[in-house]
């Protein structure tokens, strides 16, 4: 796992330490003809050897366009792309050594699994004996050796996905690109296959960029997550860093279903959150590093609060979602005008008002981030 990159530095210049990353994208920009604004604007990130980067964000934020730019399927209107330290900005797709796993897997129905996996090698006129060895190795890596003679119609959704991965691996790509790898599966299977895919990607050991709009998938599969919004990179960091320290309210809500609330020092060893909630500094994570003379904000993940009749915060409950072991409660703090989402054990008695307090050290305070979430 590599450390988080600074969004500002990455998008403009690229870090010196990242010169030999498997992928180094600097200032990627794409404006479709006739579009009012770029679909992708000044996006930069690196992917280290063997690292998995997830591109995430809401529909239309530019994930697929970014993936297609790495593959060479979409031209760049700005920026550069280096693969293994070599400028690949103008390189044709077939010369980029990219393994592409499309969303619906794209297997040829009239070919056996083995022939599907060997297709790219045949197209490159790789000699038959080398082809056989490469296909066997790819089938082994994707754990589908025993399916070699079947046709795609005889495979389950999960098996199809592994075959598509084997096909991408067979050509010995330096970078794997996966477009919504679990989207073609039904929700239950998707949950089951997430961990399996994570392990397969580790075993494959390739630099991987995958696109997903599902935060669970990103958290489970990726070493680092790049979050896009309206074509711009908002944060690029490890799942733990994003969970602990989301760049802004958008990231907090998208990845952790959490909240970033405005706060100010009350001058008496406590902070006033969202104008309504007074919290002693000693109960907050990050209190020892924060500059109290500057603007503050409080990061609150859904399970950072517990119900307590003596709690400092009264939440006016607007909506509840029962999720099995927890109930997700959306509401507004009494007297405040912010929305808040918390998750409480489903045994909690929920009425139209509940009082809450922070779990010790869970809620964190920090100085307010600049616009765009850059540090
Ligand atoms: N070929 C195209 N021509 C014109 N506009 C396009 C084209 N492809 C995408 N766009 C637009 O570019 C923006 C980004 O699209 P993109 O497909 O990259 O987003 P996405 O994050 O992958 O979305 P989704 O999750 O819905 O697949 C959107 O506004 C989309 O309508």
Q: Helix 128-141 vs helix 113-123: angle between axes, to the nearest 10 degrees? A: 130
Rounded distance, CA 261 to CA 32, Å?
36
Q: What is the pLDDT of residues 319-335, one digit of tens each?
A: 999 988 999 999 888 77
pTM to 2 decimals?
0.86
**Cα–Cα distance for residue pair 216/183, rounded to 1 Å:** 12
Ligand 1 atom 6: the closest Cα is on which residue?
32
Ligand 1 atom nearest to 57, measured from its CA: 21
In the reported structure, the alpha carbon of residue 63 is separated from the centroid of ligand 1 by a whole-number distance in angstroms of 8
Weakest mean pLDDT among 9-13, 57-61, 258-262, 290-294: 9-13
Length of the chain measured in residues: 375
- Is residue 15 over pLDDT 70? no
Tell me the CA–centroid distance for residue 210 and ligand 1, in Å: 16
Whose Cα sits closest to atom 23 in ligand 1?
A: 60
**Residue 30 alpha carbon, nearest atom of ligand 1:** 12
The domain made up of 7-246 has a fold known as Rossmann fold (3.40.50)
Ligand 1 pocket, residue 90 CB under 6 Å? no
Ligand 1 center to residue 64 CA distance, Å? 7
How many other CB atoms are there within 10 angstroms of residue 42's CB atom? 17
State whether the beta carbon of 41 lies less than 6 angstroms from ligand 1.
Answer: no
Distance from the CA of 24 to the center of ligand 1, in angstroms? 22
**Residue 11 scores a pLDDT above 50:** no
Please tell me the distance from the alpha carbon of residue 271 to that of residue 292, in angstroms, as a whole number. Answer: 9
How far, in Å, is the centroid of ligand 1 from the Cα of 65?
Answer: 6
Evaluate: CB of 213 within 6 angstroms of ligand 1: yes
Buried b vs exposed e over 98-123: b needs ≥16 C-beta within 10 Å?
Answer: bbbbeeebebeeeebbbbbbbbbbee
Ligand 1 centroid distance, CA of 7 (Å): 22
Domain boundaries, the chain: 7-246, 257-373
- How far, in Å, is the centroid of ligand 1 from the Cα of 31? 10
Mean pLDDT of the 236-255 span: 90
How far does the centroid of ligand 1 lie from the alpha carbon of residue 72, in Å? Answer: 16
Averaged pLDDT score across all residues of the chain: 88
**For the chain, how far is it from start to end, CA to CA, in angstroms?**
20
| Residue of 34, 41, 62 to mutate, ligand 1, most atoms within 8 A of C-beta | 62
Q: What's the ipTM?
A: 0.98
* Ligand 1 pocket, mutate which of 31, 38, 39, 179 (most atoms under 8 A from CB): 39
Distance 233 CA to ligand 1 centre (A): 15
- pLDDT of 38 > 90? The answer is yes
| Residue bearing the CA closest to ligand 1, atom 8 | 65
Q: What is the pLDDT of residues 277-307, one digit of tens each?
A: 888 888 899 989 999 989 999 999 888 999 9
Q: Which CATH superfamily is domain 257-373 in?
A: Nucleic acid-binding proteins (2.40.50.140)
Spacing, Cα 32 to ligand 1 middle (Å) = 9
> Nearest residue CA, atom 25 of ligand 1?
59
Work out the number of other CB atoms within 10 angstroms of the CB of residue 82.
20
pLDDT digits (tens, 9 = 90+) for 101-157: 998 888 999 999 999 999 999 988 899 999 999 999 999 999 999 999 999 999 998
Q: Answer whether 61 contacts ligand 1 (Cβ < 6 A).
A: yes
Query: Residue 28: CB within 6 Å of ligand 1?
Result: no
Whether the per-residue pLDDT at 361 is higher than 70: the answer is yes
């Amino acid at each position: 796992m590599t450390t988080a990159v600074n969004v500002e530095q990455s998008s403009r210049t690229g870090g010196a330490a990242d010169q030999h990353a498997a992928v180094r994208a600097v200032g990627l920009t794409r404006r479709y003809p006739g579009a009012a604004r770029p679909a992708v604007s000044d996006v930069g990130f690196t992917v280290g050897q063997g690292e998995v980067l997830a591109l995430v964000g809401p529909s239309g934020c530019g994930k697929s366009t970014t993936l297609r730019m790495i593959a060479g399927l979409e031209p760049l209107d700005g920026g550069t792309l280096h693969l293994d330290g070599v400028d690949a900005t103008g390189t044709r797709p077939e010369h980029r050594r990219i393994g592409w796993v499309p969303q619906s897997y794209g297997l040829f129905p009239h070919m056996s699994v083995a022939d599907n996996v060997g297709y790219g090698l045949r197209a490159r006129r790789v000699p038959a004996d080398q082809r056989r060895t490469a296909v066997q190795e790819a089938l082994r890596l994707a754990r589908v050796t025993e399916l070699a003679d079947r046709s795609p119609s005889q495979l389950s959704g999960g098996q199809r996905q592994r075959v598509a991965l084997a096909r991408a691996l067979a050509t010995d790509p330096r970078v794997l690109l996966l477009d919504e790898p679990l989207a073609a599966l039904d929700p239950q299977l998707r949950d089951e296959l997430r961990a399996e895919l994570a392990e397969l990607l580790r075993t494959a050991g390739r630099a991987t960029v995958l696109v997903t709009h599902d935060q669970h998938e990103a958290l489970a599969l990726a070493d680092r997550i790049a979050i896009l919004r309206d074509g711009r990179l908002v944060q690029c960091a490890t799942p733990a860093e994003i969970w602990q320290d989301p760049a802004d309210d958008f990231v907090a809500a998208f990845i952790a279903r959490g909240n970033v609330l405005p706060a100010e020092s009350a001058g008496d060893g406590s902070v006033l959150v969202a104008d309504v909630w007074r919290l002693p500094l000693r109960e907050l994570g990050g209190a020892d590093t924060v500059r109290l003379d500057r603007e503050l904000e409080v990061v609150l993940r859904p399970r950072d609060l517990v119900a307590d009749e003596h709690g400092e915060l009264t939440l006016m409950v607007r909506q509840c979602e029962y999720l099995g072991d927890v109930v997700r409660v959306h509401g507004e703090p009494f007297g405040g005008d912010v929305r808040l989402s918390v998750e409480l054990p489903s045994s909690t008695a929920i009425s139209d008002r509940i009082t809450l307090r922070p779990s010790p050290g869970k809620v964190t305070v920090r100085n307010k981030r600049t616009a765009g979430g850059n540090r």
